Structure 1
Amino acid sequence: MNAIGPAGFWSYTHRDDQLDGGRIRRLAEAIAHAFEITTGDELHVFVDNASIAWGEQWRARLDSALTSTTFLIPIITPKFLKSQECRREIITFSSHAASLGLEDLILPIHYVDVPQLTEENSSDEVVQLISRRQWVDWRQLRLEDEDSPGYRQAVNQLALRLKGILETPPASGPIAVPLSDPGADQPGFLDSLAEMEVSLPEWAETVQEFGEVLDSLNKTTQESATQLQQSDARGGGFAGRLRVTNALAADLSEPVAKLAELGARYSADLSRIDPGIITMIRMIGEGEATQEEENSAREIFRQLTEMIAASREAVSNLQGLSEGAKVMASGSRALRPLMNSIQTAVQQVIDGQTMIEEWARMIDEL
């Protein structure tokens, strides 16, 4: 399907749809029908996010002017937040939307209760992206009969909301500032370049510090493993293991706190520079930059290519650390809070890598 009119891409886990008897896919169809009967225009709905065609249409619209008529409708459930693919979809779309001032094109549907959405100061990047938007509450509606008046009225209201967004002129220019600062001025091309010039070295320093903290964590855990073996050899039993584990928790406290700080900084750095980078890539690709601007931007892209390679290595190492943290958290109450902090920091970096890989894809296509 080569859709050139309004389109809605449904981001959800197939398992959720199966568990709910196919209601998620039927909801997508019902909203498309309500949109068409209300506006007279077809809303192309893409629901098979596991297919190649879904991904091809997704990329084609993100890289073209059709972005302004493309909705992402994430179906938020606990499984959604655990799905790396779903997280990747919402982060990628949000990056492109922010670069064009089209934040309203993400319409989350809170389908099954996710407590993090109503908590303040969540460290989860995807939860932040969702909570900054006026999500639709479907937690009780999903239990209603699909033919009930309340359910049908809610479907119609959502279709009208889509219609209203399409009829509202978008903000002019990219948003290259944190989304939590809605009053900030919109930057121009040179402003974005200046932001990159300052932010990229800071991001590179954060990546380097990650490596140093990882070395410290690995050294500490290896020493603890040796102590466990020695305790077992002496016949220390479970009491001996507990002493070693408690000592490990104390030793890990400082480096884990540093890792958590780096994870938050890493996420903040990327959120600040991501819209500007995408804007620069798009302007060069469309021939809108002067030769001087293009030369300056391409030097930044050269630096980015080098840092992308370094970040991939860091992510690979962190994923191994995260898996080890899960195992350790399951076996020790003393270590569990620390291991949870490690997994949170790792997830922030993995989410950030989604933005980075999108830069790499777009730069390659230049």
Structure 2
Amino acid sequence: MSIRLPPIGFWSYARQDDSVSGGKLSALRTLLMSELQQQYGRDPIKIFQDVSAIPPGAEWEHEITASLNKAAFFIPIITPAFLQSEWCCQEVHIFLEREAQLSREYSGSSLRRIFPIHYIDIDGIDCCDDRALTALQRLQWLDFRGHRFRDQQHEDVHLLLSELAASVRQLLHLKLERLPSPAEKAAADRARSVEEAAAIEAAEAERAEREREAEATAAALAKAEAEALQQAKAREAEERERIYAARLVREEELEAERLLQAERSAARRAQWQAARARLLRPVPIAILSAVLLLAIAIPSWSGRESDAASMSPSSNATAQAAGAARPIDPAIAALAGRWRSVDTPPAECARNTSTEILVIKVDEMGAVLMNGVTEKAAPDPSTDGWVRLGGGFFKAAGDELRVAASREYLAGAMQFTPCP
């Protein structure tokens, strides 16, 4: 709680100085009190002076001590008589103790409370109390020596008193915070110790709780990690089982495909063997007759070709107009060579050397012109326009025929591919 000290001061002086000066020190106190009252405000200002404040018959020493212990500020009038007065020096010590007490009881009381007025020179004066003089010399004195002979209503006198009143007013307006007594301080220290102990205990409990929460969190994380690891291992095992099952299925499919290929190969071999058996049967007489006629027709046709070549250009033109055979188309002739069925592996071409395609021509008279001889004709197919002619198989393509002969040829399979 903040307080202001009551506006009470103490005027410390030597009575001898006031009496020989005709009461000038008392009048100076009255002027200062009036100026301070104007600057301070409505609350009445009181500056204790022993002459006016001690009633007759009172114990003046007791009254002075009591007044000093109530005073908020102290104004000593420094003169040779003041320094030689034991009681004046005693008043200085009493107020110094009062000032120390205020500093112990209140905070913010560090401003100076003693305002010495240097009224007369004291050079060469022996003080009856050096400690009191030393304490006063540490302070700033208001130098009034050059004004003590002036009229107290002089402007300079009022200016000096106004400066002193302003310093006192600043002190009186200061709010003080009461400090605790030693007993109160001890009690406060004990209470603070109890609060600190409680705070430490609460902090320790909070720390222990945080540690428990951290341990629980770590345990939960460890459990979650273990479960995640277990799930990952389970998924890995399931994936391995799935891959193994898929591999088994694939192996079964490959085995089934291999068996199917084996069955197809066996069927093809059986068909080939059947075709071979048919080829090895005795050739009918009609076929032999057709082959002989074809053998006779080829040389005859070659002679006609020679005779036509020996004719004049006009005769050649006439012969061509009469329906002579046209030259073989190179694109068709390029088809001659070894071929195989699309179902036949390429390795079969190395064994089936008789697989050939022969390009032939047919003239107007139906004579067959061949650019080669087909041997070991394949079995007779019965579909897709293939016909037997001579010793081979032919398929119509405009006025051209393609001859196919292959021991791997299957009835009804019309697709062939060249052998490499």
Whose relative contact order is higher, 1 or 2, with alpha carbons under 8 Å and at least 6 apart? 1
Larger proportion of strand = 2
Larger proportion of helix = 1
TM-score by length of 1: 0.41
TM-score by length of 2: 0.36
